[in-house]
Amino acid sequence: MASLNQSTIGRLPVAFPSVSTQRAVADTLEFFDDRIDLLRQTNATLESIAQALFKSWFIDFDPVRAKAEGREPLGLDAATAALFPAEFEESALGVIPKGWTVQPIGDLVETVGGSTPDTKNEAFWEPAAHHWTSPKDLSGATAPVLLGTERKVSAAGLAKISSGLLPVGTLLMSSRAPIGYLSLTQVPVAINQGYIAMPPGGRLPPEYMYFWCQHNMDAIKGRANGSTFMEISKKAFRPIPSLLPALEVIARFTDFAAMTFERITMNERQALALVELRNTLLPRLISGKLRLPEAQEQLADVLA
């Protein structure tokens, strides 16, 4: 009976590159990892800056507080500072800047849900033509933008989803299992029943709503219910009271946030391209099927 033991395996010849080549390969792969980490750290910093600005303007009301105390708002040019009032007034949410109002969030944004076409009906999934997402796509996300989906539906499958194909720039919020994943879509996408989606066109833009949802997530989760798992329905989400700032202030913040998400998207695309290239090159470099100069040329193309 044929057998394989440690002694036999130990006599097998193994080809391996020189130590200098091994080090060069390791240095190249380390550069990949460092570059990917830097891009994602940059994205985290960009998002933190936008979060801090949202909090300053719409939670702490720093510009209004400064003007009410006779001070110039820090870090704002004269035109931006002029958009904020210099007084406060009482509201259902407590003291807010004068002239700003409180309304149900459902009156300020459109909220839609989705569904899952019958997975046993191949006609709904083939030919795969349109991005279709479930919260699973966001569970391991490394950036707050959705660049692609694990699955796609056919034209027939898309017809089974009442909300249809949502445009680029739609805010997705997972509404169950778990509640609270957030992402701005960078591709047209159909959604399943695990989301509340907020497409562009509302009085509060999706970029603003991304940070609003972050700061109000406890209130959102507090309205969830369910026996198997907690879920927030559109009916329960829409009555949540929301501050409606002056439209000019919203527009100024949205301009900044949109540029931030644009940079995050660009960085994440490059990071994903580097991950794919690294994973493709590694086995070929180890096996000797690809030489290091060729790998470095491909890396330069991605970084160009």
Tokens of 257: 């946030």
pTM (2 d.p.): 0.90
Per-run averaged pLDDT (10 residues), the chain, 304 residues: 83 79 81 94 98 98 97 95 97 97 98 98 98 96 96 98 98 95 98 98 98 97 90 97 98 98 97 92 75 75 75
Residues 133-138: contacts with CB under 8 Å, at least 24 apart: 133/172, 133/189, 133/190, 133/191, 133/192, 133/195, 134/191, 134/192, 134/194, 135/174, 135/176, 135/177, 135/178, 135/181, 135/192, 135/194, 135/195, 138/172, 138/174, 138/181, 138/182, 138/183
| pLDDT, position 4 | 83
Residue of 134, 127, 131, 133 lying closest to 156 (CA atoms): 127
| pLDDT, position 211 | 98
Whether residue 127 is preceded by a cis peptide bond, meaning omega within 30 degrees of 0, is yes
Query: Residues of CATH 1.10.287.1120 domain(s) within the chain?
Result: 20-100+245-304
**At what angle are helices 247-287 and 292-303 packed, to 10 degrees?**
170
Number of residues in the chain? 304
Q: Superfamily for 103-242?
A: DNA methylase specificity domains (3.90.220.20)
Query: Residues of CATH 3.90.220.20 domain(s) within the chain?
Result: 103-242
Torsional sign, CA 230, 236, 241, 245 = positive
Q: 20-100+245-304: what CATH class?
A: mainly alpha
**At what angle are helices 19-54 and 206-215 packed, to 10 degrees?**
90
